[in-house]
Structure 1
Amino acid sequence: MKKRILTLSFALFSVGVMNFIYGQKTEEIKNWYNGPTPGMNTEKAYSSLKKQQSTTVIVAVIDSGIDIEHKDLQGKIWTNEDEIPNNGIDDDKNGYIDDVHGWNFLGNPNGQNQDYARLEKTRICAELHAKFKDRDESGITAAEQADYAKYKELLKSIEAERQENLGALEQYTQLQQMFPMLKAKLVEKLGENFTEKDVDAWKAESPQDLQLKQIGKYIANGQLSEDAIKEGLQHLNASANYQLNMDYNDRQFIGDDPDDFNDVRYGNNDVEGPDALHGTHVGGIIGATRHNELGGDGVAENIRLMSVRAVPDGDEQDKDVALAIRYAVDNGASVINMSFGKAYSKHQKEVYDAMAYADSKGVLLVHAAGNDGVNLDENPNFPTNEYSFQSKPLDMYVCVGASTRDKKHLAADFSNYSSRQVNIFAPGFEIYNTIPQSDYKILQGTSMAAPMVSGVAALLKSYFPSLSMKEIKDIMLASAKQYKGTMIPSPGTGSSVDFGTLSTTGGVIDISAAVKMCQAKVKK
C-alpha cells in the first residue's frame, strides 16, 4: 500500500499532508461516524438489539500489523486455541509455528521484519530493465514489442513521479526550516493559542501577511504542524529510497521467492511489525472497546481481530496477499478487511484464486476503493472484482468508498468511485481511533471506510448468526441510506455529480436500517 500525499496549495508553498494522517480537534469529531446520518446510526442500532444475545465473530485484518497490547483492544484479539505459545512447534500443523494471534508474511524466522517495499510498477520495471536496458529499439523483436512498450511506459512514469517527489521534498525541507519562524510571527499577531476564528478576524493587507494568514488557517485547524511536515518528509524519503528505487531488494531477508506460490512456509508470528499505525487504526474502527471514554468506539462489540501482516510501506506482494487471504479463511475468519490496493498486479490469477477460495467458503472480503479520486472503471485498484478473465463477479466481495460528515461534500474528495465497481460508501474522513502505544489519532482514507463495513458485517453476523454472510452482505447494500439525486463535488475533479452515480447502491451504510432488515428476515 503506497501511502499517498494530498496537496494543499498555498501561495508560498505546496504543502502535502498524508491522506490518512490529519490533525484536528478531536472532541468535535470523536465518534461522529457512529452517530446519526451522515454517520452510520450505530448507537440507534444497538438500542434495537438490547434484548438479543450476540456470538463471537472473527475478523481478519490484512494490513501493516496490529498493536495487540493496545489498552482499547484488550479482549478483542483473536487467539489460536490450537497453538501453544512460544514452544517453537507448529501444534495445529497448519504450517505456521506459534501463530497465536495471526501471522506475519513480511518477516523471517529470526524475527527480522520488512517495513518498506517497492511499488509494483517499480518491481515490474526492474525485471524489464534487466532485459532491455542495454538494447536499442531497432533490435527489439516482434515478440518483445509489448514488453518493451510496457518497460518504456513504466520507466517514464517512475521517473516523472520521482521528479515530482523530489520537488515536494525540497518544499517540505524549506517549510520545515521556516515553520518555527512562521508560527512565531502568527503568535505575535494573533496570540499564543490562536483559533480559526482569530485568523478569520485578522485584517491582513500586505501580500506577506495574506500568505501568512492562509498558513495560519491550516495551522489553526490542525492540517499543518511540525509532525505533519515530519511525516511528509519521511514518506517522501521512503518513496525515493524504496518505492521508486529499482535496485532495492524487497525480499532481501525474508528468504522466499515472491513468484513461487508453492513456496508458502515463510514469515514469523510478529503480528505487529515495525509500523502498525495503519493496521491498529483499522482494527480499532472494527472493534475497539465501546463506551469506555478512551478513544473512538469500535463498530462491533463481540469480535476477535486476527492480525495478518502482509502490507508494507509500498506495494504489497501478490503472493503475500493471496496467502494472507487463505490463512484467514482456514483459521476461521468470517470477514476479511483489506484496506490496501495498488495500480498494478503481476500475479492477478493467483490473487483471484485466493479470493474465490474465500468466496467458496462464505467469507466476506471487504476492500478499500483507494484514495486517488478516480473512476475505477478507468483506473484499476488491485485486488478487484473485475479481473479481465473473470466470468462473473464474486458474491462475497464489497468495495467501499469514503464519505464525510458534510452532506454538501458527502464523498471524500480523495475517494475512488465507480457506478459498477464500488458498492457502497462509509465514513472515512476525520476518523479518530487507535494507533500503537495505546494512543489515538485522526486518520482518513478509504482505508478507514472499509473497516466500517467490516465492523457492520461482523456486528450483524454476531447478532444474527443464522444468516449467511452472503445474506448479510446483501442486506448491508440493500439498506444503505440513499442519496441518489444529491449533487455534490465529484472526488478528484470537484465538478458537480450525482452521489448516486458513484457506487452500485448510490448510498452510505446505515447500521440501524440493516439491523431492522435482519430482524425482519429472521422472523419470517
Structure 2
Amino acid sequence: MKLYGLLFLVSNCFAQSHLSSSGNKDLWYHKDFILDNFHGTSLEKWKKENKKHISNKIIVATLDTQIDLEHEDLQDQFWINKSEIPHNGIDDDKNGYIDDINGWHFVGKPNGGYFIYGNFEYTRIVRKYDSIFKNKKKEDIEVNLQNDFNEYTYAKNYLEYYLDYYSNWRKSLTFNIEVYSKSKDTLKYFFPKENYNISDLDSLFKKHKINDKPYWQRRDDNDTDLGSLIHYMIVNYQQNFTKLEHIVHKKNELDSIIMQNLNVDFVDRKYIKDNPEKLEKGYGNNFLNSFKDLQYHNTEVSSIIAANSRNNIGTSGFHKNIKLMPLITSVSGDENDKDIAMAIYYAVDNGAKVINMSFGKEFSLHQEWVSKAIKYAEENNVLIVLCAANQSKNIDNEITYPRDTYMWEEVEISNNCINVGSISKRIDSTIVSPFSNYGKNNVDIFAPGEDIYVAIPDNQYKYDSGTSLAAPMISGTAALIWLYYTNLTVQEVKQIILQSGVTIDKQVIKPGTENELVPFSELCKSGKILNTYNAMKMAEEISKKK
C-alpha cells in the first residue's frame, strides 16, 4: 500500500509520482533499441514505416479512477455511446445504464455524487467473518469453513499490522505538529535566513544526536531537547513537509485511512446503496469526472493508450482511432470485486476489445465473480491487461488480485490475460524498475513503466512511474494490432505480444534487493520486453496466413 498524488492510497499498482515535468518531453518508451539505444516499444519506428490508412475504430476500456474528460490531449479520443440520448434520464439502448454516454461510474452515489475513501479488501473480509470466527482457533472450525477461516486470519493480521503502522505514524505527526513552531524557531538560531536543507540539518543533528528511531516509531515522551527538534525537521524535509500545512494535510489523510480504509465499522457500500452480495446492473452513476483529485490515475493511463498524437502538445498515444471507455471502479482504497466484474461485463457488452486494469490488491472477497467475468471476456474475444504491482516482490509466492489463476493454483482459468512488469530506460543490470513486482509464472512480460511522460488533469503533464503505466503499453499495442488485423483471436493477439518481444539475455538486479543478480528470464514467463514494431510485423504474417 502507498500514497499516490494528493489523496491516493488506492492500490498497489498505482503509479509512483517522482518527477514533475518541465522542459522538453522525453518519450523514450516509443524509441527503438537499435536506432536510439532505448528498450522502448519501437512505436515511433513503426509509425514512420506505416503508411496504411484505416477508418475502423477500436475501444479500450480502462477500469480505473475518475478521468479528466476535458483534457486537451484526450479530446476526440473518448468512446461515445451513440445509442444513448444524452441527459434525458432514460436508458435508451436498454443496456441497464441510464445516460451512459462515455462509460460508467460504478463507485458513484445514486444522486450523481462521489466518495473518496473506501475499505481495503482485508477490512471487508474481517467485517464479513468476524461474527463467525472471532476468538476461534483452527481446531474449532468445521472442515468446510477452513479456507474461509484461513483467509480471515490472514486478513486480520494485515488489518492489525496496518492499523498499528498508521496509528503510530499519525501519533508521530500529531506530536510533530505540536512542536513544529518550536523547531522552526530553534533552527533560526543556527540558520537566521532559514535557508537549510537536509544535509545542513543532518550535520547539525550529529552534534546533538539522540537515540532516534524511524519517524513512525518515535518515542512519545514529548522530547523537545535540541537534538529532537532538529531530528523532527529532518524527518519533515525527508517527507517533503516544508510547511506546517503539509504535515497537517498528511495527518488528516492518515485520519481518513484509519477511520475509513481500515475501519470495519465503516461500510463504503452505504454510499452506493446497492446490494454488495449481488451482481446487478444500474447502480452507480454516469458522472465520470465529478472530483478532480480522483482523476489523476486514469488520465495518466489513458494518455499512454490514446493521447492525441496530431496536436503537437503533451504526449502521444498508440493511434488516433483508439477510443477510450472510462469505467470508474477505484477510489482511495481497494477495488470491490463486484465493481470489477460488472465493469468487465459492461466493457464486453458495449464493444470494448481491450480492458486495461492498472490496479491490484492482496485479497479478493469474491474472486469467483471476477473469474467468471474474465472467462466471459475470453468467450467474446476480449483481452484483459493487468499490472504486476509495485511492491518489489515475487508474486509467484505472494498472491495479488485480479489474476487469471485461482488462488494458489498455477493453471490459468483463461487465455486472455497479460500481466505486465515495469522496465526503465536504463539498459544495464538496473533495467528492471526497482519497484516492480515479478514472477516466473505470474508475470508474462515487461514493458516501459518508469519515467513515463503522461497527461494529468487541468491540461498538465508530468513524468511518472509504476507498473500502472507499463500495462497500458500492452493495451495500446493490442489495440493497434486489432485495428489493422481484425481477423485475429484474443489468444493470437496475446501470443503475438509475448512471442514478438525482445529477449533480454542478461543478468539484472532483482527488485527488492540492492545488488542480487538474476537472469532476466527468471522474472517473467516470456523472458522478454514489449516491442510494438515486432508485434505488428508478426501480426501481419499471422493475419495473412488466415
TM-score normalised to structure 1 length: 0.84
1:34 aligns with 2:55: no
| Aligned partner of 1:386 among 398, 405, 408 | 405
Give the distance between the partners of 1:270 and 1:305, measured in 2 at CA. Answer: 15
CA displacement 1:323-361 (0-9 Å, x = unmatched): 100000000001000011111111111110100000011
Give the distance between the partners of 1:150 and 1:364, measured in 2 at CA. Answer: 30
CA displacement 1:196-231 (0-9 Å, x = unmatched): xxx99x9x966559999xx99x989x9887798788
Give the distance between the partners of 1:457 and 1:59, measured in 2 at CA. Answer: 9
1:272 aligns with 2:292: no
Q: Per-residue deviation at 1:190?
A: 8.2
Q: What amino acid sits opposite 2:422 in the alignment?
A: A
Give the distance between the partners of 1:231 and 1:440, measured in 2 at CA. Answer: 24
Give the distance between the partners of 2:324 and 2:146, measured in 1 at CA. Answer: 47
| Unaligned residue ranges in structure 1 (runs of 5+) | 7-17
Residues 250-289 of structure 1 correspond to what in structure 2 (within 5 A)?
A: 250-261=268-279, 263-274=280-291, 275-289=294-308
Give the distance between the partners of 2:494 and 2:208, measured in 1 at CA. Answer: 51
- Answer yes or no: is the 8 Å Cα contact 1:30–1:295 preserved in 2: no
- Answer yes or no: is the 8 Å Cα contact 2:437–2:511 preserved in 1: no
Q: Per-residue deviation at 1:35?
A: 2.3
- Answer yes or no: is the 8 Å Cα contact 1:280–1:435 preserved in 2: yes
- Answer yes or no: is the 8 Å Cα contact 2:4–2:17 preserved in 1: no
- Answer yes or no: is the 8 Å Cα contact 1:40–1:512 preserved in 2: yes
Q: Per-residue deviation at 1:257?
A: 1.4
Give 1:369's aligned residue: 388
Equivalent position SS for 1:22: strand
CA displacement 1:143-194 (0-9 Å, x = unmatched): 5666555444433321211222233345566788589899999996989xx9
Give 2:225's aligned residue: none
CA displacement 1:16-58 (0-9 Å, x = unmatched): xx95222345446632222232222221111111244353110
Equivalent position SS for 2:59: strand
Equivalent position SS for 2:316: coil
Give 2:519's aligned residue: 498
Give the distance between the partners of 1:23 and 1:182, measured in 2 at CA. Answer: 32
Give 1:321's aligned residue: 340
Give 1:10's aligned residue: none
1:447 aligns with 2:476: no
Give 2:262's aligned residue: 244
- Answer yes or no: is the 8 Å Cα contact 1:372–1:492 preserved in 2: no
Q: What amino acid sits opposite 1:250 in the alignment?
A: D
Give 2:360's aligned residue: 341
- Answer yes or no: is the 8 Å Cα contact 2:15–2:469 preserved in 1: no
User: CA 1:124–1:396 in structure 2 vs 1: closer, same or farther (change >3 Å)?
Assistant: same
Give 2:377's aligned residue: 358
User: CA 1:63–1:413 in structure 2 vs 1: closer, same or farther (change >3 Å)?
Assistant: same
Give 2:68's aligned residue: 67
Equivalent position SS for 1:322: helix
Give the distance between the partners of 2:93 and 2:260, measured in 1 at CA. Answer: 37
TM-score normalised to structure 2 length: 0.81
Equivalent position SS for 1:75: coil
Q: Per-residue deviation at 1:247?
A: 1.0
Give the distance between the partners of 2:187 and 2:502, measured in 1 at CA. Answer: 43
- Answer yes or no: is the 8 Å Cα contact 2:16–2:466 preserved in 1: yes
Q: Per-residue deviation at 1:381?
A: 1.2
User: CA 1:300–1:205 in structure 2 vs 1: closer, same or farther (change >3 Å)?
Assistant: same
CA RMSD for the aligned pairs? 3.7
Give 1:20's aligned residue: 16
State which drifts further: 462-471 or 85-94: 462-471
Give the distance between the partners of 1:187 and 1:403, measured in 2 at CA. Answer: 45
Give the distance between the partners of 1:387 and 1:282, measured in 2 at CA. Answer: 27
Q: What amino acid sits opposite 1:105 in the alignment?
A: F
Give the distance between the partners of 2:49 and 2:241, measured in 1 at CA. Answer: 41
CA displacement 1:54-83 (0-9 Å, x = unmatched): 531100011112221111110001000100
User: CA 1:383–1:19 in structure 2 vs 1: closer, same or farther (change >3 Å)?
Assistant: closer
User: CA 1:219–1:57 in structure 2 vs 1: closer, same or farther (change >3 Å)?
Assistant: farther
Number of aligned pairs?
Answer: 501
Give the distance between the partners of 1:406 and 1:229, measured in 2 at CA. Answer: 35
Q: What amino acid sits opposite 2:271 in the alignment?
A: F
Give the distance between the partners of 1:182 and 1:431, measured in 2 at CA. Answer: 41
Residues 84-483 of structure 1 correspond to what in structure 2 (within 5 A)?
A: 84-133=85-134, 140-142=140-142, 147-148=148-149, 150-170=151-171, 177=180, 235-261=253-279, 263-274=280-291, 275-388=294-407, 392-407=412-427, 408-483=429-504
Give 1:517's aligned residue: 538
